[in-house]
Amino acid sequence: MPLQLFDAMGREGFEEVVALHDGASGARALIAVHDSQVGPAFGGIRRWTYEAESGALLDALRLSRAMSRKCALLHLPAGGGKVVLLDGEGLDLEAAYRSIGRAVERMAGRFYTGPDVNTGAQELSWVHAETRYVTDPGPEGPGELSACTAEGVFLGMEAALLSLDGEVDWGRRTVVVQGLGAVGFLLAARLVGAGARVIASEADPQRVHDLADQLDVEMVDPGSELTQPCDLFAPCAMGGILHDLTIERLRCRIVAGAANNQLSRSHHGEQLHERGVLFVPDFALNTGALVRGAMFHLEGRREPVPVVGARVRSCVEDILARALSEGRPTSVVGVQLADERLAARRA
């Protein structure tokens, strides 16, 4: 662990970092709670192979702070947290996830956890066996999480089109969707239903084969989607997709997708702005599942998908309006707005 842990926590206002070690399963995990002042902290479990423990710690801090920003932007009575489970040989997955579940249960409702990279329905069911403070992947849970994310992205796209052109008019729009996974597939279907022309790429050949008859989209090879002329490019696969090499090749007017952390480095948001591409910040646009999950846990109701989508759109509108009036990059304005809302609720 870097010695600067307490400095970092103090500087960014973190509340707590729990280091979990379970000899029987081999589990080594960090639970970071950035903020639980206005309500419980929410954040999924990321399982990843880290070269050094410091990388895992940085990830836990960075990701939990990002969750606080998302909650503040969406005016959710909740804050940010995250679990990072260090992957490695000999890890007994079920026992490891169950030990995380017991640790979350001990936090007695200050922190709720859920899905993230390498943590899906199977892993959540192991956690759920130990704690109620987790997204239940079964019929008793919040459900429709990917649908909520896709709807938020779709309505956020409409807000972006309105802000650029003063109209949506899907019938004359072309959208490129990168990745037809849980969110990308639903988003593509929604766009086709609205009358847009959709071009898509998908890295998994089996998935391409399975989806062939289900979607009226034009498939292109992964990699070539970046250079397709289009109105909107929707990254719905992995993060870090926007960097020096890819930004030069883009032939879209708007980037709006579900993938987390699309900007490889923060200055790439400014680079997009300079190139005249409107970037809809992912940390605002992909919050549909968070809204649905948090409202389910906090108020015990499943907020309807269109209502969730409208909340996301309203947040996107706030960012776009301010960025436009100040002539500044949306990526910068989005972070600033989130930090202002976070500071206001902590005051």
Binding site for ligand NAI (CB under 6 A): 145-146, 149, 178-184, 201-204, 207, 222, 236-239, 258-260, 286, 289
Q: How far is the CB of 290 from ligand NAI (least distance, A)?
A: 7
The yes-or-no answer on residue 70 being catalytic is no
Q: Within a 10 A sphere around the Cβ of 248, how many other Cβ atoms?
A: 10
Residue 201, H or E segment:
strand 197-201
**Nearest-angstrom CA–CA distance, 100 and 83:** 8
Q: Retrieve residue 307's tokens.
A: 């209502």
Shorter beta-carbon distance to ligand NAI: residue 103 or 226: 226
Catalytic residue among 28, 69, 82, 313: 82
- Candidates 107, 33, 100, 103; CA nearest to 71 is 33
Q: How far is the CB of 335 from ligand NAI (least distance, A)?
A: 17
Q: How far is the CB of 236 from ligand NAI (least distance, A)?
A: 5
| Dihedral sign (CA 250, 213, 183, 127) | negative
C-alpha 126: how far from chain center: 23
Contacts of 300 (CB under 8 A, 6+ apart): none
Phi/psi of residue 177, each to 5°? -110, 120
Shorter beta-carbon distance to ligand NAI: residue 223 or 229: 223
| Position with the least CB separation from ligand NAI | 181
Q: Retrieve residue 142's tokens.
A: 């919040």
C-beta of residue 181 within 8 angstroms of C-beta of residue 153: no
Residue 206, H or E segment:
helix 205-211
Shorter beta-carbon distance to ligand NAI: residue 182 or 332: 182
Q: How far is the CB of 125 from ligand NAI (least distance, A)?
A: 17
Shorter beta-carbon distance to ligand NAI: residue 48 or 92: 48
C-alpha 139: how far from chain center: 23
Q: How far is the CB of 7 from ligand NAI (least distance, A)?
A: 30
Shorter beta-carbon distance to ligand NAI: residue 46 or 98: 46
DSSP 38: S
Active site (catalytic) residues: 82
